Structure 1
Amino acid sequence: MKDLFSVDIQFLKGVGPKRAQLYQKLGVDSVGSLLQYYPRSYIDLHDTVPLSAAPFDSPCAVQGRVVRKLPVARLSGGRTLYKVLCTNYEQDFAVTFFNTPYPYGQLVEGEDYIFYGKFGGTFTGRQVGSPLFIPAGQPHDVLPVYPLTKGLTSKEISRSVAVAIDAFLAQLADPLPSWVRTQYDLCHIGFAVQNIHLPQSPQAAQLARRRLIFEELLVLQLGMALLKQRTRRRTDYRLIPPDLAPFTAALPYQLTGAQRRCIGEILTDLQRPQPMSRLLQGDVGSGKTVVAAAGVYAAAQNGAQSALMAPTEILAEQHYQTLNTLLQPLGITVALLTGSTKGAAKKALLADLAAGKIDLLVGTHALISQNVTFSKLALVVTDEQHRFGVKQRGALGEKGQYPHMLVMSATPIPRTLALIIYGDLDISVLDEKPAGRREIETFAVDFGKFRRAVAFAEKQIRAGGQVYVVCPLIEDSGSELKDAATAQQQIQQLLPHRRVGLLHGRMRPKEKEAVMAAFKQKQLDLLVSTTVIEVGVDVPDANLIIVQNAERFGLSALHQLRGRVGRSDRQSYCILISDAQGETAKKRLDAMCRTSDGFALANFDLELRGPGDFFGSAQHGLPKLKIADLLQDRMVLAQTGTVCRQLLDADPQLRQNPLLRAEVGRLFSQVGQQGLN
């Protein structure tokens, strides 16, 4: 059997160098990856409607005959209009294409076609722009619709897929064992590939889809399980639990029960001969940093080093300040390494690190640079793990000989989903906030009450508090969205006696540091900002946050923003301002007002948006799935979890299932060396 992932896509007829470049933009560079480039939807050609019944606001399929192709029209701005007049024998309609001569050239006068698109215009003059179309009466009843890149049509992809299937279908070996297919009533891989691309019927497409979803989720869970097997390796850093009395005595507060429980779980892991792989998950303000600090203290008491990696310089600097204040009196040396660390200071820091003079190095991605060498790295901590990939976590781990790994996340994730997303980790949950923290009162209002919100801010400032105002944009873009620069000017005019600062992501690091330091030191009363404060400094006196255009943020982001206040025993407030009328936006804002439970909000957000949007653009570290959906396919996820355990119990390294192991390797091709090796 030929490995189709080694067969270049240009092997296929009609795929020359230029078209191959377009395919590569879609992540398709081989015949194998083409066959795994699945349609996003289908058009049922039996489901055509009369033109008079075509809706104006959603796509549909209409059959019509090409009457006349009008001459090409040159428009302003260098655009070109291609227009075709058609009829469905009851009513005429126009088909238009802009700057795309290929589909215009494919249409033949006097021939019948099925056109699929959104039919606009008026009741007496309908038209459709850039529709998909196929000749009427073609053999397949279902037309696949692929995600596209500019210059490549769905029809061209279908043609390439058809050539590949014709040439290679017989060579496809099924990676699923026959007993799995029998037990779960799954079709063969050959049937699945053919009918996901060229379905004989809607039912056949559904059978193919179910089979491919099952395989992909099984491969995902097998990969996560194999990653977790690395904990069976022996670490060079089996640590002896220290007396924590000096550590806890140095704290300015009492640990919560949840913190004590999580510290106990970490110390137990550190004693084992296998390296720890643990997720520390806690809501905003639950005290994750001090739990990590206990692990760092344990490593230092054993003469070993630790590293903490954060996604931004702002967060790295905050961790450095917090941990240095906490650990330095205990004799633990803490240093900071970011992209801003330069010259002689950086050279001296790296020399001290290699010599073992630094116990804890805090930093950004700079920690995984090639010239960063540890003397004895025993504990690796990554913060806000959803912003790192598995590869980056592994790269930091490769700085030591299988060190212990602790991953922290303040993004609440439903436990069932966390078990999959962090399937290579054990999970500890901080489900208790420090004593004395009050509930943050949250309100949703429209922009008509903005001045009242500013007046409320003035009242809080007079009482000794400080205020954040968050906007979705940095400066005026001509849209209806509020921008931070304009908001600062407007609020300064309303409160001329108050000190109003501005913070955004385009500022230089030193500028941002200066603004945040001024706010923390109460040299500013009110800080207007973009979402850069989501992972900003901890300001105990900040007790009011006003979020403008709150509908532009997901629940997870809003919850993180709200967590910037309520960091002391002062009563805190969150005001969400929005004029949005959409049902989803209203549900989100209502949920924010009802509860401050991050896990409850996470479940709700997941239901509304799905896991892709929930985690943002490829930030959660999971391999990218081609067809499965972790939310919609939860039932299949449960089935594949059972099969995963059965397979690995009988064949821990999948040596007897080489095709499955090859698929796992492909899906997890971007993890670090400590991954599947």
Structure 2
Amino acid sequence: MAGLSVPTSTSVLPAHRRASASPLRAPVQYLKGVGPARAAALARLGVSTVGDLLVHLPRRHEDRSRLTPLRDLAHGSETTVQATVAAVSQFRPRRGLVVVKAALLDDSGIAYAVWFNQPYLKQQLRRGMRALFFGRVERRGGEITLQSPEFEPVDGSAEETWHTGRLVPIYPATEGLSQRVLRTLVRTALTLHAAEAEDILPQELLAARGLPPLPQALWAVHFPERVEAQQAARRRLAFEELLVLQLGLALRRRQTARLARPFQYAPGTLVDRFIAALPFPLTAAQQRAIAEIIAEMRGPHPLSRLLQGDVGSGKTVVAVAAMLLCVQGGRQAALMAPTEILAEQHYLTVRRLVGDLGVRVALLTGGRSAAQRAQVRQAVQSGQVDLVVGTHALIEDEVTFARLGLVVVDEQHKFGVLQRARLRRKGFAPDVLVMTATPIPRTLALTLYGDLDVTVLDELPPGRRPVATYWRQAAARPKVYAFVRQQIAEGRQAYVVCPLIEDSEKLQAKAAAQLAEELSREFFPGLTVGLLHGRMPAEEKDRVMDALRRGEIHVLVATTVIEVGIDVPNASVMVIEDADRFGLAQLHQLRGRVGRGSHRSYCILIASPTTEEGRRRMEVMVATTDGFRIAQEDLRLRGPGELLGTRQHGLPDLRVADLQVDLPLIEEAREVAAEIVRRDPGLRAPEHAGLREAVRERFADASLLLVS
């Protein structure tokens, strides 16, 4: 898609500050003290320009401002002392080891500092030099020693201290760049260039929000005098970044809202007949969601809505109601899924739900034969299909609809905002309904899905029993599989998910096949053990799924292809091998494959985690089935990661702000952005020139957005 590639720039400094002649845009290699070798190391940290270095923010600050008398140094503590160098010696206790040792004096007593394999320090540590030292304390045999301390003279050779005696920044680092070197380079960049960083925030906005000017904020975020100054500086930089983000989103929403509906749906009875025929009552949340969606589909602008609900909350029924409104109104509906297995499951579910209503349903995926695909494409083009289910192949150029009215996109985080833009630019201006089972806070949803309104399904259908979840160590595998065999003897079926192997579908498939063979031989002789993985041909996947649904497979060994889209009510047990290799969100999705029938269901996590984080994930899964709590804990443990990464949502990357912890600031920036766009929709006012350039640089579709 020409003109819609995601920007690669990640600097918080917008373009107008970094014009080609600006020193902030200059390669960091040419900053004093850098050079080619250090530039290569900085590149590993995402730092390529001087401007990037200014926003390479510390992970934390160490308070090295509190001075401790030498006699009070506690064993094992990390401490700052101010002392005079009384003597310096260098010796080699063995081959390959050089020790530099300095005797330190203050009014309270004597201590020693030692460094290993840093012989050059003997020349820097002059007798009589007064300095600040920061390091770990050891007390042995009555001798007090600082192990490899950082030090900085305070006897007039430096006006200020940067590495000790203050709040000292600790940076994300890489091989070849010590903390001392990073601090020195950042200080150099600040000294030479911080004043050249122009504010893009209007002065009125800075004053109203109590935000410091940008040069002051850059200094304070690295080398603050007080913790409060660092927090205020970070908040100011994060707010600017989020404001640019929210301006782009507000402009996208405005663009969508200006789009007039090119058609109206004719009235009909399909939706009412569908709801009346359901074998279960709709939840209040489903009724509310259907009402909201139908009202918008009958409104003056195309539907543009996110339907968010936990695993099992009934999103599919809501989506089918929307699609039937479209079909009864004389239009075609398309349901797009990220995987062929999920598309196949949706196809079977939709066909079952609408089978008696005379709706013509078709399936279009890459796994079908060429003849089958051609036949479905022809039927879609000629209007002989009312509702087509498929993968993202549905939006490719060779697929032409006779009268497309509604597109439903499932598991949106596997797609992206740019695909939706592509759909609209094809000229259909269809209604768009996005579904996700990822439970994230509303403020975050409004950011990641910024061009969509949000509807939440916040209750599960009545009678749905929570899945009992247990964590067992690897040594308990025989007992786990004995329990599975007992469940099968009672007429149930089971899934076993093989250990996750990152970045290799081939190895993953091989591991699944080996596990299936082992289980069949060791634990399930006489039973049918099936196999499902991503490298199997589509026809073979279909045969396996059909056999599973018919009850012919007792145990299905699978990779994470079953994470979404599998719905077999008789399956009551989910066993996940090496469960600590999976993220919480993925574990929750896998657990959602059972508990879909009337039988009591179980999820058993087999794991012997070696990290605290791995143990915590297992504990959370056992403690709750609440998707929202699990998502919050996943964010806390892993950070935003892929789930909340901005790139697949067509948004610029964030260098300062954190989508996990800055929710109040996100909301504040959203409100300010909405007001700015309301008053100045093209960002043409002189005071918004900097913001306009920032949006232009950081949003791939800015040329479409900045049209007043």
Tell me if structure 2 keeps the 8 A contact 1:382–1:393: no
C-alpha distance in structure 2 between counterparts of 1:316 and 1:588, whole Å: 30
Deviations 1:506-531 (A, max 9, x none): 55555544443433332221123333
The alignment status of 1:9 with 2:26, answered yes or no, reads yes
Q: Secondary structure at the match of 1:629?
A: coil
C-alpha distance in structure 2 between counterparts of 1:429 and 1:344, whole Å: 40
- The residue number in structure 2 matching 1:38 is 57
Deviations 1:467-509 (A, max 9, x none): 112343369x9xxxxx756654553312312222333445555
C-alpha distance in structure 2 between counterparts of 1:376 and 1:22, whole Å: 55
Change (3 A) 1:432 1:472: same
Counterpart mapping for 1:604-643 below 5 A: 604-606=633-635, 610-612=639-641, 615=644, 623-643=652-672
Q: Secondary structure at the match of 2:531?
A: strand
The alignment status of 1:236 with 2:255, answered yes or no, reads no
The alignment status of 1:304 with 2:325, answered yes or no, reads no
Deviations 1:279-303 (A, max 9, x none): 1112212221222122222223333
Change (3 A) 1:399 1:67: farther
Task: Give the letter aligned to residue 173 of structure 1.
Answer: E
Tell me if structure 2 keeps the 8 A contact 1:305–1:360: yes
Identity of matched residues, %: 43
Task: Give the letter aligned to residue 573 of structure 1.
Answer: Y
C-alpha distance in structure 1 between counterparts of 2:368 and 2:316, whole Å: 23
Task: Give the deviation of 1:539 after TM superposition.
Answer: 1.2
Match of 2:525 among 481, 485, 496: 496
- The residue number in structure 2 matching 1:660 is 691
C-alpha distance in structure 1 between counterparts of 2:308 and 2:584, whole Å: 17
Q: Secondary structure at the match of 2:27?
A: helix
Deviations 1:68-126 (A, max 9, x none): 6989x9xxxxxxxx976333534564546xxxxxxx79867444898989999x99999
Counterpart mapping for 1:88-167 below 5 A: 88-89=102-103, 90-91=111-112, 93-95=114-116, 109-111=123-125, 136=153, 139=160, 140=162, 141-148=166-173, 161-162=186-187, 164-167=189-192
Task: Give the letter aligned to residue 54 of structure 2.
Answer: L
- The residue number in structure 2 matching 1:526 is 555
Deviations 1:161-188 (A, max 9, x none): 5555455434332222223322332110
- The residue number in structure 1 matching 2:309 is 282
The alignment status of 1:537 with 2:574, answered yes or no, reads no
- The residue number in structure 1 matching 2:605 is 576
Counterpart mapping for 1:465-476 below 5 A: 465-473=492-500
- The residue number in structure 2 matching 1:101 is none
Tell me if structure 1 keeps the 8 A contact 2:646–2:653: no
Change (3 A) 1:391 1:318: same
Task: Give the letter aligned to residue 690 of structure 2.
Answer: L
C-alpha distance in structure 2 between counterparts of 1:500 and 1:355, whole Å: 43
C-alpha distance in structure 1 between counterparts of 2:543 and 2:706, whole Å: 44
Task: Give the deviation of 1:542 after TM superposition.
Answer: 0.3
Tell me if structure 1 keeps the 8 A contact 2:443–2:667: no
Q: Secondary structure at the match of 1:535?
A: coil
C-alpha distance in structure 2 between counterparts of 1:325 and 1:69, whole Å: 83
Tell me if structure 2 keeps the 8 A contact 1:67–1:110: no
Q: Secondary structure at the match of 1:299?
A: helix
Task: Give the deviation of 1:362 after TM superposition.
Answer: 3.1
C-alpha distance in structure 1 between counterparts of 2:540 and 2:89, whole Å: 65
Task: Give the letter aligned to residue 216 of structure 2.
Answer: F
C-alpha distance in structure 1 between counterparts of 2:702 and 2:493, whole Å: 44
Change (3 A) 1:253 1:201: closer
Task: Give the letter aligned to residue 443 of structure 1.
Answer: Y
- The residue number in structure 1 matching 2:449 is 422
Tell me if structure 2 keeps the 8 A contact 1:501–1:527: yes
Counterpart mapping for 1:366-385 below 5 A: 366-385=393-412
Greater Cα shift, 3-12 or 424-433: 3-12
- The residue number in structure 1 matching 2:626 is 597
Decide which structure has the larger Cα Rg and report it.
Answer: 2
Tell me if structure 2 keeps the 8 A contact 1:474–1:530: no
Tell me if structure 1 keeps the 8 A contact 2:413–2:643: no
The alignment status of 1:190 with 2:215, answered yes or no, reads yes
C-alpha distance in structure 2 between counterparts of 1:563 and 1:299, whole Å: 30
Return 5+ residue gaps in structure 1 as ranges. Answer: 74-81, 97-103, 478-482
Greater Cα shift, 43-52 or 486-495: 43-52
Change (3 A) 1:503 1:351: closer
Change (3 A) 1:642 1:675: closer
C-alpha distance in structure 2 between counterparts of 1:210 and 1:216, whole Å: 10
C-alpha distance in structure 1 between counterparts of 2:482 and 2:630, whole Å: 29
- The residue number in structure 1 matching 2:106 is none
Task: Give the deviation of 1:544 after TM superposition.
Answer: 1.2
C-alpha distance in structure 2 between counterparts of 1:553 and 1:648, whole Å: 42
C-alpha distance in structure 1 between counterparts of 2:55 and 2:275, whole Å: 54
Q: Secondary structure at the match of 1:232?
A: helix
Task: Give the deviation of 1:606 after TM superposition.
Answer: 4.4
C-alpha distance in structure 1 between counterparts of 2:384 and 2:674, whole Å: 44
C-alpha distance in structure 2 between counterparts of 1:148 and 1:361, whole Å: 51
C-alpha distance in structure 1 between counterparts of 2:580 and 2:553, whole Å: 28
Change (3 A) 1:453 1:13: closer
Task: Give the deviation of 1:552 after TM superposition.
Answer: 3.9
C-alpha distance in structure 2 between counterparts of 1:37 and 1:69, whole Å: 39
C-alpha distance in structure 1 between counterparts of 2:149 and 2:528, whole Å: 58
Counterpart mapping for 1:436-447 below 5 A: 436-447=463-474
Change (3 A) 1:299 1:83: farther
Change (3 A) 1:160 1:514: farther
C-alpha distance in structure 2 between counterparts of 1:432 and 1:449, whole Å: 35
Change (3 A) 1:419 1:143: same
Tell me if structure 2 keeps the 8 A contact 1:241–1:271: no
TM-score normalized by the length of structure 1:
0.81
Q: Secondary structure at the match of 1:546?
A: strand
Change (3 A) 1:320 1:169: same
Counterpart mapping for 1:41-440 below 5 A: 41-46=60-65, 55=76, 85-89=99-103, 90-91=111-112, 93-95=114-116, 109-111=123-125, 136=153, 139=160, 140=162, 141-148=166-173, 161-162=186-187, 164-199=189-224, 203-233=228-258, 234-243=260-269, 244-248=271-275, 251=278, 253-327=280-354, 330-340=357-367, 343=370, 345-347=372-374, 349-350=376-377, 352-440=379-467
Tell me if structure 1 keeps the 8 A contact 2:220–2:233: yes
- The residue number in structure 2 matching 1:567 is 596
Task: Give the letter aligned to residue 233 of structure 2.
Answer: A
User: Alpha carbon RMSD of aligned pairs, Å?
Assistant: 4.4
Return 5+ residue gaps in structure 2 as ranges. Answer: 1-14, 104-110, 505-510
Change (3 A) 1:514 1:116: farther
Greater Cα shift, 109-118 or 266-275: 109-118
Q: Secondary structure at the match of 1:85?
A: strand
C-alpha distance in structure 2 between counterparts of 1:359 and 1:283, whole Å: 28
Change (3 A) 1:346 1:360: same
Deviations 1:299-318 (A, max 9, x none): 23333333333222222222
Greater relative contact order, per chain length (Cα 8 Å cut-off, separation 6+): 2
Change (3 A) 1:512 1:374: same
Tell me if structure 2 keeps the 8 A contact 1:413–1:602: yes
Change (3 A) 1:665 1:356: farther
Tell me if structure 2 keeps the 8 A contact 1:473–1:484: no
Q: Secondary structure at the match of 2:563?
A: helix
Task: Give the deviation of 1:629 after TM superposition.
Answer: 2.2
Task: Give the letter aligned to residue 85 of structure 1.
Answer: V
